[in-house]
Amino acid sequence: MSILGRFRDIMASNINALLDKVEDPEKMIDQYLRNLNSDLGKVKAETASIMAEEQRAKRALDECIEEMNKLQNYAIKALETNNESDARKFLEKKSVLAAKETGLKEAYDLAVSNAKKMREMHDKLVSDIRDLESRKDMIKGKLAVAKTQERINKIGSSIEGANHSISAFDRMEEKANQALDKANAMAELNAGPEDETKDLMAKYENNTNIDKELEALKESLKNK
């Protein structure tokens, strides 16, 4: 019964826990189902063999009972013809078959029990395979969603890195502005205080030129 032992081990295990240990769960799901269907073929063959044994045991028991009934009828007929000696022989043969019947009945009961167990195991395996087949698409769908989520997580990490770069860019721009302001301030300090007398001198120089031009204009009008 090594086949059934392996079957029970597989059925008792948690398929989701097994999936966590493999690199490609999707391929392993298909492999598990192939293994189970292979086991199902072996269980079917074993079940058919045990069911056939049940039928053979039943046939042997029925034949024994039938023979005993015949001997009983022959014993009755022998007595009806006052042939007690023949009746005794028939009953002696029946007694031998009665002892045989006990063993045949025990063998048949055991065969019935074995066949029932095998059919239950077979039916459970068929049901479990059908259940796993229906769960297969669901599990593969979950795996696809998980892969999509992983890609989204990676994209999210990239965006987070981009945000860091943008923040760093803003910090560099701020530092550049600070450096420019500092340079302008330094240039202003290096220039020193303004000489206001130069502006005043220019003011009066300009007025002198205008006065001269005004006098020249007056002279020209007098000469007319």
Q: Is 181 within a domain?
A: no
d(CA 10, CA 125): 10
Quick one: pLDDT at residue 11?
53
Average pLDDT over residues 143-156: 76
Between 146 and 76, the more confident residue is: 76
pLDDT at 201: 63
pLDDT higher than threshold 80 for residue 63: yes
**Inside any domain, residue 189:** no
Confidence band (pLDDT; 50, 70, 90) for 57?
Answer: very high
Rounded CA separation 64/59 (Å): 9
Which range of residues forms the domain containing residue 92? 2-154
Q: Which two tokens stand for residue 170?
A: 């803003």
d(CA 52, CA 68): 24
7, 43 contact by CB (below 8 A) = yes
Banded pLDDT at 198 (limits 50, 70, 90): low
> Structurally, how many domains does the chain consist of?
1
> Cα(first)–Cα(last) distance of the chain, in Å?
147
Does a structural domain hold residue 41? Answer: yes
For residue 195, tell me if it sits in a domain.
no
